[in-house]
Structure 1
């Protein structure tokens, strides 16, 4: 049953790849036409070189990369504070964090644009990063707090004895032991930012600053009848997410990271 399910889910993806090798597929090709397709990168070369996709791709890499590292770094600091420090209204603030996760992104676009516009950051990546990192910090904090709380506090004693402070504890203990959780959040943060369309469309106005989702939507509107080009462009858009998943798949959350760290 699992094998049948895998075939059903993977067939559309294989169909996309094979169709992207065809030339001038102005209608969705039939199975025998797809299976007879010869591997050719002509459609990929045309999309990449003649439709500004190289520029959109690099823009998205910059935006998604900075947003991913920013949300992971600030979110891990926030999670460390919630997991190890005691301060007034700690649980209330954490619940407010969780409440913001329930607000649909579409409802927040207008107030976000108003704030970014008042700061003079419309049509800049800085304005886009503020929204992406601000939104990513909440989910990262929620996810990592629970993971940090599983790390024994006794591991901190060696650093405290050597005169180290909270920063050293965070950097030398919590981050190395949290690589599985950080790898998982890296996939979510990157893919969520890489595929984001509405916020980028509302903030970015110049064509030279467009991200790949915007360029892909414009391309699909222009070449909606040429499925070979559309599928080639779509596969270029999802390739970084697939590569990132392959790199971090072994870092998915797993137990036993602190086993043996303390003597019984």
Structure 2
């Protein structure tokens, strides 16, 4: 009897030790994955601060002995990144908020307004998420060229929105469906229109999801290359990825300036991610709507 009790008392200890070993294994795996992801960024940053001679005569992950901050100014001037940065900023700042707003309104209408054919319309919109945009580049160029929008901001913004909105509607539609209908019904009884309900009730509740979609949409728009390459043929309208590709082709042996250009290209997207990630996490942990 005493042995049985002792065995029973030791069971939680054994289980706790097994759980601790599992957690230790997970932490080790996470650390290894983090090292694999961080190592290329460390290499790029260190190389961007080295001269060509330092790059050739030192280890790839050795910190620069004499940081060459002039690489950034030289790369900015030689690559004409002021023009490409401005173009990317205009396209992204217009496309991302406008696309999210349209997606949110469309998702609200499909989720909360009953009308004939809304399910069919949702399926048609979701069909856009199943089409790889690579197979649409040729007909897309023909369409944009027929509208005389080649080498224009609308000629890039509109296709970006067309391929981005279906995915956003899919995510937001599922979120709106989970919000209790009593919220909108009470507002409708008080005489509020659907736009007022959407703007004052549903949009604030959706801020965590919108923050996540904003991060994803900003990064994908900022780094988009293939569609911009087809639709923007004038160098004065090039975006940052196109400018970086041209810079790499011209100055591929100037490793310091090339890596400086890479850092300047990815830095805005990294800053936006770090800013909105904080609001995203706080929004997810702030609570949920109760019916």
Q: TM-score, normalised by structure 2?
A: 0.83
Deviations 1:214-253 (A, max 9, x none): 1000000011112111111011110111111111113157
Paired residues of 2:215 and 2:272 also in contact (CA < 8 A): yes
Q: Choose the corresponding residue for 2:207, options 179, 184, 190.
A: 179
Work out whether 1:213 is the aligned partner of 2:246. Answer: no
Q: 1:93 to 1:226 in 2, by over 3 A?
A: same
Q: How does 1:246-257 map to 2 (within 5 A)?
A: 246-250=274-278, 251-252=280-281, 254=284, 257=287
How far did residue 118 of structure 1 move?
A: 1.2
Work out whether 1:222 is the aligned partner of 2:250. Answer: yes
Separation in structure 1 between the aligned mates of residue 270 and residue 284 of structure 2, nearest angstrom? 21
How far did residue 213 of structure 1 move?
A: 0.7
Work out whether 1:159 is the aligned partner of 2:187. Answer: yes
Separation in structure 1 between the aligned mates of residue 233 and residue 180 of structure 2, nearest angstrom? 49
Q: 1:232 to 1:32 in 2, by over 3 A?
A: closer
Corresponding residue for 1:4? 32
Work out whether 1:72 is the aligned partner of 2:95. Answer: no
Corresponding residue for 1:44? 72
Q: How does 1:88-103 map to 2 (within 5 A)?
A: 88-103=116-131
Q: How does 1:97-136 map to 2 (within 5 A)?
A: 97-136=125-164
Q: Choose the corresponding residue for 1:56, options 84, 96, 115.
A: 84
Q: What secondary structure is seen at the aligned counterpart in 2 of 1:35?
A: coil
How far did residue 65 of structure 1 move?
A: 1.4
Separation in structure 2 between the aligned mates of residue 156 and residue 33 of structure 1, nearest angstrom? 57
Paired residues of 2:133 and 2:163 also in contact (CA < 8 A): no
User: Relative to total residues, which structure has the larger helix share, 1 or 2?
Assistant: 2
Tell me whether 127-136 or 25-34 shows the greater mean CA deviation: 25-34
- Structure 1 runs, 4 residues or longer, greater than 3 Å off: 25-30, 36-40, 255-259
Separation in structure 1 between the aligned mates of residue 208 and residue 65 of structure 2, nearest angstrom? 40
Q: 1:30 to 1:24 in 2, by over 3 A?
A: closer
Q: How does 1:13-52 map to 2 (within 5 A)?
A: 13-24=41-52, 30-31=58-59, 34-52=62-80
Q: Structure 2: which 5+ residue stretches go unaligned?
A: 1-27
Q: TM-score, normalised by structure 1?
A: 0.91
Q: Structure 1: which 5+ residue stretches go unaligned?
A: none
Deviations 1:96-133 (A, max 9, x none): 22222121121011111111111111111111111011
Deviations 1:36-87 (A, max 9, x none): 4333321111111332111111110111111101210111111111111122
Q: RMSD between aligned alpha carbons?
A: 2.0
